[in-house]
Each structure stands twice: as C-alpha cells, then as structure tokens.
A = this chain, B = another copy of it.
Amino acid sequence: MVADIAERAGVTARTFFRYFTDKREVLFDASAELEKKSLAALEAAPATASTLDLVATALDATVDIIGHDHELARKRHVVIMANSDLRERELIKLAHMSAALADGLRRRGIGDAEASLAAEAGSAVYRVAFQRWADADDDLDLRDVIRRSFAQLRALTAPN
C-alpha cells in the first residue's frame, strides 16, 4: 500500500502523492535524468556521425547513470519484470525516451520517418542489451553489451 511506503519515508500518503504522481513512479525517478543526459550526448555528437551512430551515442550516455551498480540494476529489473503494471510503466518511459530521441534527431536535420525509426530501433537494441546485461551472472560492461547488440542488429538486417 502507498500508506506503508509513505510511512517508511516518514510522511503521509498525501505527501507521497505530492512527490510522486503515482505509486509506481518511485521506481522510475531517474528516468528524467537519463533522458536529459542522453539528449545532451546527442547534441554534443560530431556532425559527421551517421544517424545510427547518433542513437548509439545517446544510449551510451545512459550507462554512466545505471551501468555501475549491476546488483541494484538486477534487483530492480527483477521487481519490474515480476509486475505487469511496473512493466507498463517502464515501457512508457522507454517510449518517451525514444520519442525524445527522435525529436533530437529531427533537430539535427534528420528526416521525420528516419528519425522515428532510428530512435525506435535504438530503443529495441537498448531493451535487449539491458535485459542481457541484467540477466548476466558475470560482470559484463553494459556499454559493451549495447555495442554488441548494435552490431548484431546490423548483421541481422544486412542483405545476404
């Protein structure tokens, strides 16, 4: 219950709802910062970068925030995956991020359709990479996993 959560934090339920719009939102507090960082990285990228490179750069930037605490990330992931309402929330955060990313790409002059698609594709890569990383027993580097997932996407879509 929200009342319990709030009590643990030493406040009333009403106060809780002043800080978080939602019960679930507690778990996704960092998402705004994540988005900000990755957008900043996008802006800072060199003009020569390809669309997909830009996306990769933006995703890479999130690693600084969440890539260090593997154990925490794993636990958090387990909790989220176990509750469909938390999964919903996570997905919409990702979708929001993807939309912001697409906007960022458009601001760099990339065509509308291409921007959306690149952002969504990047989001897809991120999803599987993060999942892979969080599930891994050994201590992988999230950045590496993302890179390898991008490479795998390239391989997958390459004409044969």
Contacts and interface: CB of A to CB of B under 8 A. Distances in A.
Nearest to A122: B124
Nearest to A152: B117
Given A88-B89, A156-B51, A159-B154, A120 B124 contact: yes
B118 A121 contact: no
Interface string A25-53: 00000000000000000000000001110
A57 interface: no
Interface stretch (A11-19, A62-70, A126-134): A126-134
Contacts of A117: 124-125, 128, 149, 152-153, 156
A152 B114 contact: yes
A158 B116 CA distance: 17
Given A88-B88, A117-B125, 17 more contacts: A51-B156, A52-B157, A87-B95, A88-B89, A91-B92, A113-B132, A113-B149, A114-B152, A117-B153, A118-B156, A120-B127, A121-B153, A121-B157, A124-B124, A153-B157, A154-B158, A154-B159
Interface of A: 50-52, 84, 87-89, 91-92, 95, 113-114, 116-118, 120-121, 123-125, 127-128, 131-132, 149, 152-154, 156-160
A-B pairs with the 9 shortest C-beta distances?
Answer: A120-B124, A88-B88, A91-B91, A124-B124, A157-B157, A116-B128, A88-B92, A154-B157, A121-B124
14 contacts: A50-B160, A52-B156, A87-B92, A91-B91, A116-B128, A117-B125, A117-B156, A120-B128, A121-B124, A121-B156, A124-B124, A154-B157, A154-B158, A154-B159
